Chains A and B, each alone.
Chain A
Amino acid sequence: MMIKQLKEGVLDNNPLLIQLLGICPALAMTTNVSNALGIGIATMVVLLLSNLFISLLRKLIPNEIRIAAYIVIIAGFVSAVEMLIKAYLPELGRSLGIFLPLIVVNCIILGRAETFASKNKVLPSLMDGFAMGFGFTFALIVVASIREIIGAGTWFGVNVLGESYQSVLFFIMPSGAFITLGCLVALMKKLTSFPKKVPKNSIESLESESVTAEKVEEPVEIPAEEEVIVEEIKEEVEVAEKNDN
């Protein structure tokens, strides 16, 4: 159960690379891996706490004002996390800047509250929060690793590509963020749409089926003259039968 949910959060239903939620922090906070880890863990903590409390309160919150109630719950935890980070990790707090309070409007958190925590019991909601938060953090670290290693030649601030490496500044710039994320989403799409995995619903498998169908039909279609001959013979037979009658 736990492993299945974790796999869903990291691979099959990754919030960033498959569901395309939380793109703003994924673009802005991935210039280096430590920022990515910071915003990822902060998001995960908020997601865990909000999933826990929304799941606990799911029978008390009236349906009509549920979104407002969720936003207040989430904003409360975001403020708490923000104050904690600013108190104990002031340097990280400065480098995350306004993206720390902006966790409030991260679609992943409201999305999980609405689709999962409001309908499920406490323990599965907690695990869902952990799985989704972990998947998001994992995706952020992948994006940030690519950008930091190619763009600055470092990883977690440690030089990994040697002193002589000429860093490609493009990957640190905003345009590099968009293009790196675009390529990763495409890669993820390619990896998750293997025909053997999802034989019925994926478009690729349907297309490959139609290709094989064409190949089967082709040898039947090629001897078109024979078909004409067969039909002519049938007609002749019919005419002959009519004449006989």
Chain B
Amino acid sequence: MITELLLLMLSAVLIENFVLSRFLGCCPFLGVSEKPAAAVGMGCAVTFVMTVSSAIIYLIYTYILVPFDLIYLKTIAFILVIAALVQFIELFLKKFIPVLYNEFGIFLPLITTNCAVLGAVLLNIEKGYDFIYSVSFGFSAAIGFTLAIILFAGIRERLEFADPPKAFRGIPLALVAAGLIAMAFTGFHGISFS
């Protein structure tokens, strides 16, 4: 049980990395990765929201949507829950933990439309994970996102000094760099657990 859980988490972080292998959360990955500090803030905010939303959405799905036969409403329900949760977390942090709010408060509103969060909860439902698995999957997928965005921010900081052709400046060069990181991460596909 514990080994299985650990293997699931390891595979979510490295082998099936959310950004580099599943392509979830590419917008913040490209948008908020120009400075490592901002990338760390975004990563922490996403980790927080994704773990909490995985837990809450599991409960809502299992104890409200399924018993009342409302599964067809799941997309609407999930996006509303995530939006409300993000708003709630923002207010909660502002009131009780202002230090954290100052650290990653500005990234919170962006998370509502981050497809990594909705993607994680949809994958949880699709794969039929139970509560503990859902929360661990949400958490480790977010750790994978954080790892990728921090690595990428480090590389982009160096790209500032590069001298590419004019058309490649900015996002195109960043996309090519992301491709190279993704290539490095495909190396993890060789890990076998059996």
Contact = CB atoms under 8 A, between A and B. Distances in A.
A174 B184 CA distance: 11
A204 B171 contact: no
A101 to B, nearest CB: 5
A83 B113 CA distance: 22
Contacts of B20: 174
B1 interface: no
Interface in B159-194: 165-168, 171-176, 178-180, 182-183, 185-186
Nearest to A179: B179
Given A78-B75, A105-B115, A175-B180, A182 B173 contact: yes
Nearest to A189: B167
Q: By DSSP majority rule, is chain A's interface helix, strand, loop, or mixed?
A: helix
A216 interface: no
Nearest to A170: B183
B124 to A, nearest CB: 10
B54 to A, nearest CB: 14
A98 B126 contact: yes
B76 A75 contact: yes
B60 interface: no
Contacts of A96: none
B98 to A, nearest CB: 24
Nearest to A187: B167
Interface stretch (A21-29, A130-138, A147-155, A227-235): A21-29
Interface string B105-121: 00000001111001100
A169 to B, nearest CB: 10
18 contacts: A24-B23, A68-B80, A72-B76, A79-B72, A79-B73, A97-B126, A98-B119, A104-B75, A105-B79, A174-B21, A174-B179, A178-B175, A179-B175, A182-B172, A182-B175, A182-B176, A185-B175, A189-B167
